[in-house]
Structure 1
Amino acid sequence: MTQLNVSIPPALKEWIDSRVAEGRYASASDYIRDIIRRDQDSINAETEWLREQIQIGLDSGVSDETPETVIENVIARRKQRHGLG
């Protein structure tokens, strides 16, 4: 395993130490690895969601509406959702 040294402020070190002291993590390194894995999972989920949304858009075909009409409709729906219109 490779090693990485980082500098953190005392408050963050205390936070890490408290998480380790709770017993869920064996060490500060274990805690940091878990945070990084969770971040990776989050990014992967967001990327998958974005790909799905792009595919939905591609599958929906080409609209006959003008760009101005599309924007006006989006604004009107937003106003309606927020009780502004």
Structure 2
Amino acid sequence: MNISLPDVLKNFVEEQVSSGKYSSASEYVRELVRAEQKNHEREKIELKLLEGLHSGEPVELNPDMWDGLRRRLRTRAKKAV
């Protein structure tokens, strides 16, 4: 895959790489895509939670339920990658 960027964005990516945090422009872009994937999944979860809140059905969530939800979501996210 080739990506063309205007000079301003190309310079920014090169600055990120030269900062030492990333070993290449590809690594930087992969990190951005992963972050966007996480953000997208978070948005989907928030929508599901809002649907649940607006359903009118009361649900009490305890810490164990949250832990289980996080484990299931992490497993699902790993399978999606």
TM-score between both structures, scaled by the size of structure 2:
0.67
- Aligned runs of 1:6-85 on 2, under 5 Å? 6-60=3-57
Task: Report the Cα distance in structure 1 between the residues aligned to 2:34 and 2:56, rounded to whole angstroms.
Answer: 33
Give the aligned residue type for 1:26. S
Identity %: 29
Letter in 2 for 1:16: V
Q: Larger % of helix: which?
A: 2
Partners in 2 of 1:6 and 1:26 — Cα distance? 18
The runs of 4+ residues in structure 1 deviating greater than 2 Å are: none
List runs of 5+ in structure 2 lacking aligned partners: 59-81
Q: Which runs of 5+ in 1 are unaligned?
A: 62-85
How many matched pairs?
A: 58
Amino acid at match of 2:33: I
Q: What's the Cα RMSD here?
A: 1.4
Displacement, 1:56? 1.3
Return the alpha-carbon distance in structure 1 between the equivalents of residues 28 and 56 of structure 2: 42
Provide the TM-score with structure 1 as the length reference: 0.64
Aligned-pair distance for 1:39?
0.6
